[in-house]
Amino acid sequence: MASDVLTRARRGLDSYFGVTAAGSTFRREVMAGTVTFLAMSYVLAVNPSILGDQGALGDKGIPMQAVFTATAVAAVFGTLVMGIWARYPIALAPGMGLNAFFAYTVVLTMGIPWQVALSGTFLSGVIFFVLAITKVRERILNAIPLQLKFAVGAGIGLFVAFLGFKNAGIVVNSDATFVTVGDFTKSTTMLALFGLVLTVIFLVRGWHGAVLYGIVATTTVGMIFGIVDVPHSIAELPKGLDQTFGQAIIHLPDAFTGQMIVVVLTMLFVDFFDASGTLIGVANQAGLLNKDGTLPRAASAMAADSVGTTAGAIIGTSTTTAYVESTAGVSAGGRTGITAIATAGWFFVAMFCFPLFSVIAGSAEITAPALIVVGVLMARSLGDIDWQHLEYSVPAFITVIMMPLTYSIANGLAMGMIFYPIVMVAKGRGKDIHPVMWALMVLFLGYFFFLVEH
């Protein structure tokens, strides 16, 4: 009797997720989900180190344990939605780059409280959801030049890598030259350099969990030499969400300001196009695209991503989005939503391991190599920019370079949006500019002249 029930349930799951039809098996899907988790689990240490109150933000940051728990819960929820609803082997978690924007631009530079920043994240998720389930999604995708989309990803990569070099002590401030090389004889800098070299070796060797393995090895060496504290325990019950849950809703009225319009638009823009690129890229590797190159169930997949962002903001973390590390699971054979469900299961287990991850998150020299490597991976889109045509390369270059130089993703994005219509008109291609780009140009000009503190 029981075996009959299990058999019917298995057939039902197979029919819904299309495991057999995709040429896969349940065992392979679960193993692929495990590989995906190993490839992206570093976010459990890196996200609290960026958003938490024990890093650069100090008392302006979100309580560290709350960020860790929120990161894990958001990853579980968002990945389950993607796996069950959209049925893709794609995992979600708070995105790298947007968490840096949240912390260093919105909270640290603009002086916006993290509670209000969460409200901005929530609003961007709601708008994203509306765009995802309507045809407006396609119009927006067509309005923004492809070259600027590449530039935004690459610029965020340089910005994230710069944060990593700074946190490692490899790059330090200088009164004479603004920045200069740090002191390599410092124990923390030496540990970060060791971690960077080791992580790069793992990466070029093709290890799917390269970043995680690098973090583990660096932490172990740091503990042996007394640079990093030894955790008092391995696991404990999750806690801290009482400090963040619902803050995005409570402070929603404070999010309707001129500054926050730019914040929300930046979050929306980056998440929208990052999610689109990741979904198509992962689906293409898995052989799931239609013959015409379109994404099946595109509305469901994009909506799932937006739901992850909205729920993550309510829980207490920055933008939750699709992770390109999902390609690791796909390369291991993952083809259906079962892979995502398995990944969510591992994030649930990790939710109980805060004492271990807190040691890593509280040590910038350990997480710095991860930021640098992630920056390298994001900067690969530089090769997709058409550098031979100045009407594309000029705004793209300005977008890329202004993000690290002004310590702001929003500033780089805004400058690129302003320069694109200018160079296109100068080239005699004013008719090719979409009305949306003109509107964004005016908006970002207002941002620089009236909203940026001088």
Query: Is the CB of residue 201 less than 8 Å from the CB of residue 220?
Result: no
By CB neighbour count within 10 A (0-12 exposed, 13-18 middle, 19+ buried), where does 257 fall?
middle
Confidence band, pLDDT 50/70/90 cuts, at residue 281: confident
> What distance, in Å, lies between the first and last C-alpha atoms of the chain?
74
* Residue 91 · residue 343 · CB < 8 Å: yes
Tokens for 167?
A: 């946190």
pLDDT, tens only, 155-182: 988 998 999 999 999 999 999 999 999 9
What is the pLDDT confidence band of residue 128, given thresholds at 50, 70 and 90? very high
Domain limits of the chain? Answer: 23-451
pLDDT of residue 283: 87
27 CB-contact burial (10 Å; exposed 0-12 / middle 13-18 / buried 19+): exposed
Q: What is the DSSP letter of 142?
A: H
User: Residues 404-450: pLDDT tens digits?
Assistant: 999 888 889 899 999 999 999 999 999 999 898 999 899 889 888 87
Ordered DSSP codes for 49-108: HHHBTTSTTGGGSBPHHHHHHHHHHHHHHHHHHIIIII--S--EEEPTTHHHIIIIIIII
Could you tell me the pLDDT band of residue 343, with boundaries at 50, 70 and 90? very high
Give alpha helix (H) positions in 133-236.
136-143, 146-168, 187-204, 210-224
Asked if residues 244 and 102 have their Cβ atoms less than 8 Å apart, the reply is no
User: Which pLDDT score is estimated for 1?
Assistant: 57
Residue-wise pLDDT tens digits, 70-111: 999 999 999 999 999 999 999 999 999 899 999 999 999 999
Whether residue 130 is predicted with pLDDT greater than 60 in this model: the reply is yes
Q: What pLDDT is stored for residue 453 in this prediction? A: 62
Section 54-82 average pLDDT: 93
Residue carrying structure tokens 């404990």: 236
CA 382 to CA 302: how far, in whole Å? 25
Percent of the chain with pLDDT over 70: 98
Burial 318-347 (b: 16+ CB within 10 A, else e): bbbbbbbbbbbbbbbbbbbbbbbbbbbbbb
3-state secondary structure of 363: coil
> What is the rounded radius of gyration, in angstroms, for the C-alpha atoms of the chain?
22
Query: Could you read off the pLDDT of 241-271 as tens digits, one per residue?
Result: 999 999 999 999 999 998 899 999 999 988 9
Ramachandran category for residue 421: left, alpha or beta (phi over 0 → left; psi -120 to 50 → alpha) = alpha
Alpha-carbon gap, residue 334 to 322, rounded angstroms: 15
- pLDDT at res. 454: 52
- The pLDDT of residue 429: 94
> Which pLDDT value is given to residue 290?
83
Q: What is the mean pLDDT of residues 1-22?
A: 83
The mean predicted confidence, pLDDT, of the chain is 91
- Give the span between the Cα atoms of 369 and 219, in whole angstroms: 12
Q: What is the pLDDT of residues 292-337, one digit of tens each?
A: 777 888 889 999 999 999 999 999 999 999 998 898 899 889 999 9
Q: Please state the length of the chain.
A: 454
pTM of the shown model: 0.89
With tokens 């390109």, the residue in question is: 324
Residue 95: which residues within 8 A CB-CB, separation 6 or more? Answer: 271, 274, 318, 319, 320, 321, 323
Per residue, what are the HEC states of 237-301?
Answer: CCCCHHHCCCHHHHCHHHHCCHHHHHHHHHHHHHHHHHHHHHHHHHHHHCCCCCCCCCCCCHHHH
